[in-house]
């Protein structure tokens, strides 16, 4: 795996010498921010050695590098999910590559199910913490001491200062920003109502099938992390109807422009720091 990361970085470096500051992972239906990037270079995952290629609906598979509001960014258009059959280690390979290319900050976005009854479909929540206990940790295996410590701290997985930036960006854009704890479950089946009641009891506000492995890997290698989640549907048993993938993608299309405004403003503010 370490070899694949190295070879992928080299392959990208053979195409461009662009050095990103901020890495952005785009969740389901949130790809439109890529249109705002003044693109310097695009690299398809399939052109990188050993790189997992996403198969999920709504996920293209390429890195977009360029300037967002003048800030050098690398954007993952199409993320890799555990439920596609990739190992947790493969799921986090893109984060390692983006860090290897220079990114020191990671912004993760996703679409989630809303557990808290006061959320609405289309609400945008800043992720303040996560629950990862139900899935295999991507750091299991020998530790690479050059990358990070064996037992990385997760007390502030989501950086306080970056949370302040997201709050200010939302205020300046007039966007209501909820906050929430995100629980990561493997999927791909949606949860049962009983599972959602369990999640709520455990302290989760948002439920989803992504993000957490990337955050753990990013913290391990010392990246600063913040996360935004778009409530694509109310979670099972809270919604009065059955859940469909279509609903998730449609919500992404609706709330996508709001998320794009928030992210764009936040990146500009992070670039000024
Ligand atoms: N559950 C899990 N993952 C999700 C959901 C959900 O309800 N909505 C979007 N991603």
- Give the domains, in start order, of the chain with CATH numbers: 2-268 (3.40.50.1580)
pLDDT classification of 55: cutoffs 50, 70, 90: low
Instruction: Please choose, from the candidates 63, 61, 52, the residue with its C-alpha nearest in 3D space to the C-alpha of residue 89.
Output: 52
Find the mean pLDDT for residues 64-73.
Answer: 95
Q: Is the pLDDT of residue 188 over 80?
A: yes
Ligand 1 midpoint to CA 129 (Å): 17
* pLDDT confidence bin for 56, thresholds 50/70/90: low
268/52 Cα distance (integer angstroms): 30
**C-alpha 113 – ligand 1 centre gap (Å):** 4
Q: Which DSSP string do the residues of 91-111 spell out, in sequence order?
A: HTHHHHHHHHTT--EEEEEEE
Residues 227/96/12/66 CA torsion (nearest 10 deg): 20
233 lines ligand 1 (CB under 6 A): yes
In the beta sheet, which residues pair with residue 67?
38, 72
Question: How does pLDDT run across 226-247, given as a tens digit for each residue?
Answer: 999 999 999 999 878 887 878 7
Pick from 8, 87, 108: which is nearest to 48 by CA?
Answer: 8
- Looking at residue 60, its pLDDT comes to 61
Q: Any idea which of 99-103, 180-184, 253-257 has the lowest mean pLDDT?
A: 253-257
**pLDDT at residue 57, as a whole number:** 59
Ligand 1 atom index nearest CA of 235 = 7
Least confident of 11-25, 175-189, 252-266: 252-266
pLDDT of residue 235: 94
Using most ligand atoms within 8 A of CB, pick from 83, 134, 235 the residue to mutate for ligand 1. Answer: 235
Q: Rounded mean pLDDT of the chain? A: 91
Cβ(114) – ligand 1 distance below 6 Å: no
Length of the chain as a residue count: 273
Name the closest-CA residue to atom 9, ligand 1. 112
Q: Give the predicted TM-score (pTM) of the model.
A: 0.94
166 neighbors 114 (Cβ within 8 angstroms): no
pLDDT at 54: 66
243-270 pLDDT, tens digit each: 787 877 777 777 888 999 999 999 999 9
């Amino acid at each position: 795996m370490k070899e694949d990361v190295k070879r992928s970085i080299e392959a990208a470096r053979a195409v461009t010498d662009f050095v990103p500051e901020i890495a952005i992972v785009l969740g389901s239906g949130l790809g439109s921010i890529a249109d705002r990037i003044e693109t310097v270079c695009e690299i398809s995952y399939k052109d990188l050695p050993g790189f997992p290629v996403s198969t999920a609906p709504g996920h293209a598979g390429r890195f977009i590098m360029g300037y967002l509001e003048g800030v050098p960014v690398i954007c993952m258009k199409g993320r890799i999910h555990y439920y596609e059959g990739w190992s947790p280690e493969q799921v986090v390979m893109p984060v390692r590559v983006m860090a290897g290319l220079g990114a020191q900050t990671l912004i993760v976005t996703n679409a989630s199910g809303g557990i808290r009854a006061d959320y609405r479909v289309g609400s945008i929540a800043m992720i303040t913490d996560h629950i990862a206990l139900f899935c295999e940790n991507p750091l299991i295996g020998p530790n690479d001491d050059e990358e990070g410590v064996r037992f990385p701290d997760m007390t502030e997985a989501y950086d306080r200062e970056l949370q302040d930036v997201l709050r200010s960006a939302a205020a300046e854009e007039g966007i209501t920003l909820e906050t929430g704890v995100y629980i990561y479950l493997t999927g791909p089946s949606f949860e049962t109502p009983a599972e959602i009641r369990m999640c709520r009891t455990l302290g989760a506000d948002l439920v989803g099938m992504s993000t957490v492995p990337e955050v753990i890997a990013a913290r391990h290698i010392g990246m600063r992390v913040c996360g935004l989640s778009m409530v694509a549907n109310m979670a099972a048993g809270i919604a009065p109807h059955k859940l469909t993938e279509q609903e998730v993608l449609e919500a992404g299309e609706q709330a996508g422009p709001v998320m794009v405004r928030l992210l764009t403003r936040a990146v500009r503010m992070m670039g000024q720091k």
